Amino acid sequence: MSKIADLFCQSPFEPLRQHMDQVMECVSHLRPMFELARAGEHGQLEDLAKTVFKAEHQADEIKDEIRQSIPRTFFLPVYRGDLLGYLALQDGVADAVEDVAFLLTVKRLTVPSGLAEELLDYVDSIVEVADRAYDVSKELTVLVEQGFNGAEVEKVMEMVAVVDKAEWEADRKQYRLSKLLFAMEDDLRATDVLLWFRVFAVLGELADHAEKAADRVRRMLAK
C-alpha cells in the first residue's frame, strides 16, 4: 500500500492536506522571485525558478497518487467528485506559480520603477489569498472528526468568506496595476508590456484557484 493510500485509511482529507503543503511550498517562492526580478538578479531568479519547477512537479506526483488512491467503494463523508474537484483547484495554485516562474525567466524582464511597489503589494495580496485558503484546508480534518456538524462548520464558512474578500481585494489591485502598466506603454517595449500583463493575469488566476478551492469546501458543507 502506498503512503497516500495508507493516509486515506486514516482520513480522506489527510492526503489533500499533504498536497496543499506542497502547493504552499511553491507559493512560498512567489515574493522572493519578484524581489529578485526587481533587483535585476536574473541568475538567482533562474535558480529559484528551477526550485519552483521541482516543487510543482512534486505536487503533481502527490496529486496523481491521490487520484489513483481515492477509494471508489470505501465510505467517504463527501462526494468523491468534490474531492477530485477540490484537488484540481488546489493543484491549479501550484501550476500558476510555475507559470509565473516561467514568464519571469523566459525573458529577462525589468520591473518598471514606477510599478515596483504596487507590484510587490499585489503579489503580497495574492499570497494572502493562498494563505487564507490554506487555513481552510487545515480545517478539513477537524470537520471530518466532527461529522461535518457543529460550530466548526460555521467557523469554516466564515473562513471561506475571508478568502472571498481577499480574492476580491487582489482583483482590485490587479486592475489598478494593469492600468498603471498601460499608462507606461510608450516607455516600455511592447513585448515587456505584454509579458507583464500576462504575469498579472496568471497571478490573478492563482488567487482565483485558491478562492474556488475554498468555495468547494463551502459547497461540501452545504450538502
Binned at pLDDT 50, 70 and 90, residue 145 comes out as low
pLDDT given at position 71: 60
pTM as predicted: 0.90
DSSP secondary structure code for residue 10 in this structure: H
So where are the chain's domains? 3-222
Fold of 3-222: Methane Monooxygenase Hydroxylase; Chain G, domain 1 (1.20.58)
**pLDDT tens digit sequence for 3-55:** 554 545 556 677 888 899 999 999 999 999 999 999 999 999 999 999 999 99
Q: Which percentage of the chain shows pLDDT scores above 90?
A: 66
DSSP codes of every residue in 160-205: HHHHHHHHHHHHHHHHHHHHHHHHTGGGS-HHHHHHHHHHHHHHHH
Q: Is 2 helix (H, G, I), strand (E, B) or coil?
A: coil
What's the grid cell of residue 202?
496568471
Is residue 98 within 8 Å of 63, Cβ to Cβ? no
**pLDDT tens digit sequence for 86-109:** 999 999 999 999 999 999 999 988
Q: Cα separation of 127 and 178, whole Å?
A: 18
